[in-house]
């Protein structure tokens, strides 16, 4: 009896000591910022070496006007940021005050969860109102509330081509899908891989073919499929996906597409091992950093005969920065952006190869490719939202996976889309 | 010698116990709690009962991930444990083998992420080392999309794991073999036993517990394997290299289904506990056998 009493006392004592030890350890974590915190935290994706210098310049402007304040950057690879990185940061102990986002379903979700501050009044009462045309805020608004300060309108996918290769074989940008296939035939006969795609993370080919599907089945049906109003394995999409089968059978896409990452796909193109690269407008900055001697230009997906969509449509997304709705430094963030969107910093971004959307920038684009991209996205043609940034990630993943399976020849369009529909139907 | 105060043992164990509670027990209890909820990580979790567990046992990708990890464990038992054992046998019977042992142990010291990135380059189908050598030797038809082909992706990862960890098991088995008394080996040699018989019929049975521990380490390590798969293939192509850990990370961080991912984690934990329990039972049965 005495032994068992001692055992119980020891057990209870041990638990009490453990609990006492845990309490100070657990109180070490901070939750959210407090008013004495003079650090503006900005979370973003890599902008290249030259882009980092522009950020540093913007940070210096803010710090010079706010002595005692610091600006901290958290830069994450975009694949990581888009999925795991940003949600982890927002729910962490030092969440960002400002973070990069893509307009679309993502900012709707952020606004719903309280992570996106409504900026209409703040913009009106600050210098920002004079720096932008009000129309550019539309894409970054949720129910009329501006939540995203736009830094660019990314064209998510066009076909970039090697000007030297095209000139060598007497090729010109195609005006129809059939002409594009004829170009691919000529390149293949010359021993050059027509398209270089780095699709390991599924979004590169996903975005490219999503645009093609929308051209074939129509923008409305594409949107209905991506918002679960219409099943993903609809006969129309199954039929549209046969275009992927066609490209695969003819060997127009590099065999390594599904095993190499996006940057490895760029490398194949920059090294001259492929003539065309279906990717977005950000390649302009990458090319300046990694292959400054490369001569390249682009064309939009050419019209596909019989397609129900608008054959001049562009796949694109507005990108920019959101101020964290739970931050105590919203006014300081606005002040930061007054400097960030100033003429000085805008000029620095343009020199870097980016295409800002302030009034000054729109009037004076420096890079001819960015001018051409800007004209494309502002041409008035319908803008198709990319799967991964415009819609729920699960639905985007299901479609992108189906595309990659068909691109690799492991599944037919029907089987791939049946599997995709079964997956999104269960969740 | 009894402690001077009855609180002394508790105070000495306290820090370790509190760290155990903080990093193991509390997260485990938290995960069990989350596993019965539906939650995207932002709003308030809603109670889901055993829906997540029901979904887990019918989830074809989750089931396939166990098949994949089973293949991985089977392959690494050969490529890591068996190769490590053979290398230990080969090197222990020779002199001046330190340089070989060090060279084989070097990959063990590399961070797994570094190994994964390195081998991604080696396996790159367009400009990687393996395909470059194959093409140079005139075997263009033998060049493969190593990490992108469903037939080769998983085995390619298994090979990398063998390259890394065979050195680890070499070190374990070398230590085990060195404990065997020399007179037993000498008397067997005098009786006419060849090197092969000496190794397989005498040395290996005498280090049975080392063999069992190595196999257990390989199996539990295989179930917990993550970085190789995540960095090299991300679970692709088409879930061919998806293992339970990568699927858990996908569910929680990409699909933002914290509740479902937590249920998957609990299922995996239970499986690891069962495997450990079975092994412990097997070891207890063999307690009386002669070994060193």
Q: What is the mean pLDDT of residues A386-401?
A: 92
Is the Cβ of A272 closer than 8 Å to some Cβ of chain B?
no
Q: What is the mean pLDDT of residues B9-31?
A: 91
Residue A109 has pLDDT above 60, yes or no: yes
* Nearest in space to A199 (alpha carbons), one of A276, A262, A274: A262
User: Predicted confidence band at A29 (pLDDT cuts at 50, 70, 90)?
Assistant: very low
**Same domain for A119 and A220?**
no
Give the minimum alpha-carbon distance from B28 to chain A in angstroms, rounded to a whole number. Answer: 15
Strands A296-299, A145-146: pairing kind: unpaired
Q: What is the mean pLDDT of residues B74-85?
A: 96
Rounded-to-integer distance, Cα B252 and Cα B50, Å:
17
* Nearest in space to A171 (alpha carbons), one of A297, A312, A304: A297
Rounded-to-integer distance, Cα A36 and Cα A70, Å:
12
Q: What tokens were used for A232?
A: 């993903």
Q: What's the burial of B281, exposed, middle or buried (CB within 10 Å: 0-12/13-18/19+)?
A: exposed
| Residues in chain B within 8 Å Cβ distance of A264 | 124, 126
Rounded-to-integer distance, Cα B84 and Cα B90, Å:
10
* Nearest in space to B266 (alpha carbons), one of B50, B7, B14, B119: B50
**Same domain for A131 and A198?**
no
Query: Looking at the domain covering B68-242, what would its CATH class be?
Result: mainly alpha
pLDDT at B7: 82
DSSP string of A312-346? T-EEEEEEEEEE-TT-S-HHHHHHHHHHHTSHHHH
Task: List CB contacts of A43: < 8 A, sequence separation 6 or more.
Answer: A73, A74, A75, A76, A81, A85, A86, A89, A96, A98, A99, A100
Residue A26 has pLDDT above 50, yes or no: no
Q: What is the mean pLDDT of residues A181-201?
A: 96
| Residues in chain A within 8 Å Cβ distance of B13 | 14
ipTM over 0.95: no
**Same domain for A279 and A329?**
no
- Paired with A73 in beta bridges are A42
Helix H, strand E, coil C: the string for B102-156 is HHHHHHHHCCHHHHHHHHHHHHCCCCCHHHHHHHHCCCHHHCCCCCCCCCCHHHH
Rounded-to-integer distance, Cα A350 and Cα A193, Å:
32
For residue A224, give the CATH number of its domain: 3.40.190.10
| A33, part of any domain | no
**Same domain for A289 and A324?**
no
Q: What is the pLDDT of residues A112-165, one digit of tens each?
A: 989 999 999 999 999 999 998 888 898 899 999 999 999 988 899 999 999 999
Rounded-to-integer distance, Cα A163 and Cα B289, Å:
75
Q: Do B147 and A259 touch (CB under 8 A)?
A: yes
pLDDT at A120: 95
* Nearest in space to A385 (alpha carbons), one of A139, A205, A167, A179: A139
Identify which has the larger pLDDT, A12 or B59.
B59
* Nearest in space to B249 (alpha carbons), one of A424, A158, A247, A85: A85
* Nearest in space to A81 (alpha carbons), one of A64, A62, A102: A102
Q: To the nearest whole number, what is the mean pLDDT of chain A?
A: 89
**Same domain for A230 and A249?**
yes
Q: Do A84 and B254 touch (CB under 8 A)?
A: yes
Q: What is the mean pLDDT of residues A211-239?
A: 97
| A23, part of any domain | no
Task: List CB contacts of B248: < 8 A, sequence separation 6 or more.
Answer: B261, B264, B265, B268
Q: Distance of CA A42 to CAs A49, A87, A89, Å?
A: 17, 14, 11
**Same domain for A321 and A280?**
no
* Nearest in space to A150 (alpha carbons), one of A352, A354, A380: A354
pLDDT at A314: 96
Q: What tokens were used for B194?
A: 């060849």
* Chain B interface mutation, best of A5, A18, A201, highest count of B Cβ atoms under 10 Å: A18
Give the minimum alpha-carbon distance from A109 to chain B in angstroms, rounded to a whole number. Answer: 10
**Same domain for A184 and A126?**
no
Identify which has the larger pLDDT, B179 or A217.
A217
**Same domain for A288 and A357?**
no
Residue A70: in which H helix or E strand, if any? Answer: strand A70-75
What's the domain range around A254? Answer: 158-315+382-426
Of B13, B149, B254, the CB nearest to A83: B254
* Nearest in space to A203 (alpha carbons), one of A38, A83, A33: A83
pLDDT at A423: 87
Q: Do A394 and B255 touch (CB under 8 A)?
A: yes
Is the Cβ of A18 closer than 8 Å to some Cβ of chain B?
yes
Lowest mean pLDDT among A116-130, A297-311, A354-368, A401-415: A354-368
Q: In this structure, how many other beta carbons lie within 10 angstroms of the beta carbon of residue A16?
A: 12
Task: List CB contacts of B156: < 8 A, sequence separation 6 or more.
Answer: B123, B146, B147, B232
| A6, part of any domain | no
**Same domain for A293 and A321?**
no
Q: Do B10 and A408 touch (CB under 8 A)?
A: no
Place of tokens 């549209």: A240
DSSP string of B223-260? HH--HHHHHHTTT-STTTT--HHHHHHIIIIIS--HHH
Task: List CB contacts of B252: < 8 A, sequence separation 6 or more.
Answer: B41, B258, B261, B262
Is the Cβ of A80 closer than 8 Å to some Cβ of chain B?
no
**Same domain for A215 and A299?**
yes
- In degrees, rounded to 5, the angle at the alpha carbon of residue B175 between the alpha carbons of residues B281 and B70 is 45
Residue A374 has pLDDT above 70, yes or no: yes
Cβ–Cβ under 8 Å, residues B106 and A240: no
Terminus-to-terminus CA distance in chain B, angstroms?
31
Cβ–Cβ under 8 Å, residues B158 and B76: yes
Whole-number percent of chain B with pLDDT over 70: 96
Cβ–Cβ under 8 Å, residues A262 and A269: no
User: Predicted confidence band at A28 (pLDDT cuts at 50, 70, 90)?
Assistant: very low
| Residues in chain B within 8 Å Cβ distance of A26 | 22
Is the Cβ of A12 closer than 8 Å to some Cβ of chain B?
no
Number of folded domains in chain A? 2
3-state secondary structure of A153: strand
The domain spans of chain B are 68-242
**Same domain for A202 and A246?**
yes
Cβ–Cβ under 8 Å, residues B235 and B242: yes
**Same domain for A324 and A311?**
no
- CA-nearest residue to A265 within chain B is B126
């Amino acid at each position: 009896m005495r032994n068992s009493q001692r055992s119980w006392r020891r057990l209870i004592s041990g638990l009490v000591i453990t609990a006492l030890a845990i309490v100070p350890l657990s109180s070490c974590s901070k939750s959210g910022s407090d008013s004495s915190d003079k650090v503006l935290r900005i979370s973003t994706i890599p902008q290249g070496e030259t882009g980092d210098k522009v950020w540093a310049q913007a940070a210096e402007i803010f710090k010079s006007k706010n002595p005692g304040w610091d600006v901290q950057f958290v830069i994450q690879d975009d694949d990581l940021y888009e999925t795991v990185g940003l949600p982890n940061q927002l729910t962490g102990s030092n969440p960002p005050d400002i973070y990069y986002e893509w307009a679309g379903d993502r900012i709707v979700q952020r606004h719903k969860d309280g992570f996106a501050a409504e900026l209409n009044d703040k913009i009106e009462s600050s210098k920002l109102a004079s720096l932008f045309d009000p129309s550019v805020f539309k894409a970054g608004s949720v129910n009329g509330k501006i939540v995203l300060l736009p830094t660019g309108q990314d064209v998510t996918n066009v076909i970039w081509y090697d000007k030297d290769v095209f000139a060598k074989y007497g090729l010109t940008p195609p005006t129809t899908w059939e002409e594009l296939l004829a170009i691919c035939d000529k390149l293949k006969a010359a021993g050059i891989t027509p398209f270089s795609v780095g699709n390991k993370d599924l979004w590169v080919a996903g975005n490219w073919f999503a645009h093609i599907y929308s051209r074939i089945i129509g923008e409305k049906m594409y949107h209905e499929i991506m918002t679960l109003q219409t099943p993903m394995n609809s006969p129309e999409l199954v039929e549209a996906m046969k275009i992927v089968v066609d490209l695969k059978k003819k060997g127009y896409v590099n065999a390594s597409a599904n095993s190499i990452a996006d940057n490895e796909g760029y490398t194949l193109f920059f090294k001259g091992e492929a003539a065309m690269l279906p990717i977005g407008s950000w390649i302009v900055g990458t090319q300046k950093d990694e292959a400054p001697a490369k001569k390249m230009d682009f064309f939009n997906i050419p019209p596909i005969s019989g397609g129900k969509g608008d054959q001049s449509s562009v796949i694109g997304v507005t990108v920019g920065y959101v101020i964290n709705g739970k931050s105590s430094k919203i006014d300081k963030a606005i002040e930061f952006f007054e400097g960030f969107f100033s003429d000085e910093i805008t000029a620095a971004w343009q020199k870097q190869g980016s295409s800002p959307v302030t009034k000054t920038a729109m009037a004076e684009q420096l890079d001819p490719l960015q001018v051409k991209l800007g004209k494309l996205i502002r041409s008035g043609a319908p803008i198709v939202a990319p799967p991964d940034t415009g819609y729920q990630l699960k639905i985007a993943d299901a479609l992108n996976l189906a595309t990659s399976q068909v691109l690799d020849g492991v599944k037919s369009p029907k089987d791939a889309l049946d599997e995709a529909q079964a997956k999104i139907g269960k969740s | 010698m009894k402690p001077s105060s009855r609180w002394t043992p508790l105070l000495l164990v306290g820090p370790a116990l509190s760290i155990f509670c903080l990093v193991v027990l509390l997260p485990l209890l938290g995960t069990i709690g989350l596993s019965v909820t539906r939650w995207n990580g932002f709003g308030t979790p809603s109670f889901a009962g055993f829906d997540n567990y029901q979904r887990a046992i019918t989830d074809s990708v989750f089931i396939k991930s166990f098949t994949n990890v089973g293949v991985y464990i089977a392959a690494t038992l050969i490529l890591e444990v068996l190769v490590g054992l053979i290398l230990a046998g080969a090197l222990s019977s020779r002199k001046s083998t330190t340089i070989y042992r060090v060279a084989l142990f070097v990959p063990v010291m590399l961070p797994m992420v570094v190994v994964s990135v390195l081998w991604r380059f080696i396996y790159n189908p367009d400009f990687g080392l393996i395909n470059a050598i194959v093409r140079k030797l005139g075997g263009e038809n033998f060049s493969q999309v190593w990490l992108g082909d469903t037939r080769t992706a998983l085995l390619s990862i298994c090979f990398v794991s063998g390259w890394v960890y065979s050195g680890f098991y070499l070190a374990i088995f070398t230590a085990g073999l060195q404990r065997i008394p020399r007179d037993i080996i000498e008397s067997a040699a005098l009786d006419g036993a060849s090197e092969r018989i000496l190794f397989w019929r005498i040395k290996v049975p005498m280090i049975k517990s080392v063999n069992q521990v190595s196999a257990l380490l390989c199996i539990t390590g295989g179930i917990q394997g993550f970085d190789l798969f995540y960095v090299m293939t991300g679970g692709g192509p088409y879930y061919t290299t998806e293992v339970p850990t990568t699927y858990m990370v996908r569910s929680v961080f990409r699909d933002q289904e914290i509740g479902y991912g937590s249920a998957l984690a609990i299922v995996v934990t239970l499986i690891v506990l069962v495997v450990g329990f079975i092994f412990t039972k097997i070891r207890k049965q063999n307690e009386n056998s002669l070994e060193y």
